[in-house]
Structures are given as C-alpha cells and as structure tokens.
C-alpha cells in the first residue's frame, strides 16, 4: 500500500474511533461484570464501542508505554542489527525492579525491542531510548510528539519503559495507540511470540511472553502488551479476533494478578454468546 494510502487509512479509522468516543452506546454492557477499573472494547473495523467502563479517565499506563516506545524507535529507521550494551544507566533506580538482563549484556537493537515488547524488559526499553539520536530526552520528546500526531487527548510520557507514574493515557487514547501500532509488522510479531531466548555468553536466558493468553490456542491475538506498576494496577491491551471480528481490548487497573486475564476471557465469552459464534 502506498504511503498516502496508509495515511488515509489511519486518518479514516482514527476518525471513526473519535466519533465513537462521543456517540458510542455500548450494547448490553451492563450484563458484563468486569473487575478492571477502566475498560474499553472496540470493533476495530468500525470503531464501535462494544464495552465501555471509565474509558475517559486519565490513568497511569505502566509498560503499555512500550507500544509507543516501539513506534518511535521504528519510525527512526535505526540499524536493527547495531549492538547495544546494557549499562548501569539502564537499571531501574525508581522502583528497583528486577531484570534478567545483566549489566554488560550486548544485544542487537532489534532483539532489545523484542524483549521490551514480549517480556516487558525495562532495561531493554531504557537502552532503546538512551541510544536514540540525541539521547533519552530526545526520545521522550519524540514520544510526546507522536502522541500529538495521533491526537491523544490525555496521553503524556516521561520515560520509555513505563516505570514512571507520569506516563498516562485514557483507554480511548490506548485504542488509538493500538490501532497505530498494529500497522507495524514488527510490533505485531514481537508482542505475540510465546517466548524467546537470549544467548548471553555461555548462558541461554528464556523470556516468556508476559501475556499468558498468547499461548492459549483458544485465542487469536494479533498484538499484545501488559503493564504493571502500583499506581497503574495490572493492565492489558490486545488486538484479537473475537466472535469472528477484529476487536481492540483495553483493560486498566485490574486489582488481582490474574484479574485482567479473567476479564479478557469474560469479554470473549460475552461477545461469543451474543453473536452465537466462537473465534
């Protein structure tokens, strides 16, 4: 598809989503009980809201941020094979979260992106921003410029990993982010692989996908990202085929470790029951 065609497709689809924000009246959503504090399910083709719960609230989005990180990185067309080195600067000094990437690890930029999307590796995401032309500050500026380009009304970014609670958005903003990110084959591929292996010296380190649903044969997922910090709760966004149609699923601030997965399965069953189909 030509560049002008892609831009036209994006503009048209995002416009549909924007109309849905003001005019959507979710059908029978009261019969669906969700534990997530904020939720939104959209028909990807039409922008129709199928489920909506506190979808306009501006909330921290944790590692869902990494979808924006990936788009900004890919837009820059940097050498995917260039070797990056994980340094002490990439360690989480804010929350002191664990990482399976030791300081000194060398890996191609493309593999760092894979680990950021699939395993939500914070050091990998930070290294991607740190090695961006102009450094981390320029990368964050590019993230916020991308947010403006996509017309995100409530989104703001402070770091590429999502560790900062200042990375915020609404569920509607995230729908636009997913729709935009879905246009990148690398994001679709990397975010939905069940697992990957990194060879670090003589060691092989296994990294499973943080979304267990990508390993579930009952799900057909085209894009996926999880997130968690205390302020954001457990978060999950996906593009998936449900009831024989493509949908965008946004679940924010789930209170339990498995609640976001439970909500996703409840949405799947609810849509299939309403349509009388499975898939």
For 20, 117, 118, 158, 222, the CA distances from 122, given in Å and listed in that order, are: 34, 10, 11, 14, 22
Q: Which of 38, 63, 99, 191 is catalytic?
A: 63
Strand-pair partners of 159 = none
C-alpha 239/C-alpha 264 separation (Å) is 11
Residue 189 corresponds to which tokens in the numbers above?
């591929």
The closest of 144, 156, 169, 185 to 250, measured between CA atoms, is 169
Residue 55 corresponds to which tokens in the numbers above?
């979808």
Residue 226 corresponds to which tokens in the numbers above?
């999880």
3-class state of residue 242 by DSSP = strand
Residue 231 corresponds to which tokens in the numbers above?
């302020």
**Does residue 58 contact residue 169 with C-beta atoms inside 8 Å?**
yes
User: Is 146 considered catalytic here?
Assistant: no
Q: Which of 66, 146, 225, 268 is catalytic?
A: 66
The closest of 210, 176, 257, 13 to 100, measured between CA atoms, is 210
User: Is 275 considered catalytic here?
Assistant: no
Q: Which of 29, 120, 164, 191 is catalytic?
A: 120
Residue 186 corresponds to which tokens in the numbers above?
């690398």
**Does residue 40 contact residue 53 with C-beta atoms inside 8 Å?**
yes
Residue 209 corresponds to which tokens in the numbers above?
């996908």
State the catalytic residues. Answer: 63, 66, 120
């Amino acid at each position: 598809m030509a560049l002008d065609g892609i831009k036209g497709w994006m503009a048209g689809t995002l416009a549909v989503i924007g109309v849905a924000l003001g005019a959507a009246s979710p059908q029978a959503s009261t019969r669906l009980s969700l534990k997530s504090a904020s939720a939104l399910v959209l028909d990807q083709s039409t922008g129709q809201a199928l489920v909506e719960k506190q979808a306009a609230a501006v909330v921290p989005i944790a590692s869902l941020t990494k979808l924006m990180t990936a788009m900004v990185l890919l837009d820059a067309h940097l050498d995917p094979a260039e070797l990056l080195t994980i340094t002490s600067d990439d360690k989480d000094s804010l929350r002191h979260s664990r990482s399976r990437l030791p300081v000194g690890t060398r890996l191609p930029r493309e593999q760092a992106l894979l680990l950021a999307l699939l395993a939500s590796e914070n050091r990998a995401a930070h290294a991607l921003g740190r090695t961006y032309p102009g450094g981390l500050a320029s990368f964050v500026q590019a993230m916020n410029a991308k947010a403006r380009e996509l017309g995100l009304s409530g989104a703001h970014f402070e770091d590429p990993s999502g560790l900062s609670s200042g990375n915020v958005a609404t569920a509607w903003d995230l729908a636009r982010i997913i729709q935009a990110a879905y246009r990148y084959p690398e994001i679709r591929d990397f975010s939905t692989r069940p697992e990957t292996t990194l060879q670090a010296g003589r060691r092989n380190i296994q990294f499973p996908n943080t979304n267990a649903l990508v390993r579930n044969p009952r799900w057909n997922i085209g894009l996926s990202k999880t997130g968690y910090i205390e302020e954001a709760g457990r978060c999950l966004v996906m593009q998936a085929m449900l009831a024989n149609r493509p949908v965008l699923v946004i679940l924010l601030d789930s209170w339990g470790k498995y609640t976001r997965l439970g909500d996703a399965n409840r949405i799947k069953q609810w849509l299939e029951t309403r349509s009388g189909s499975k898939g």
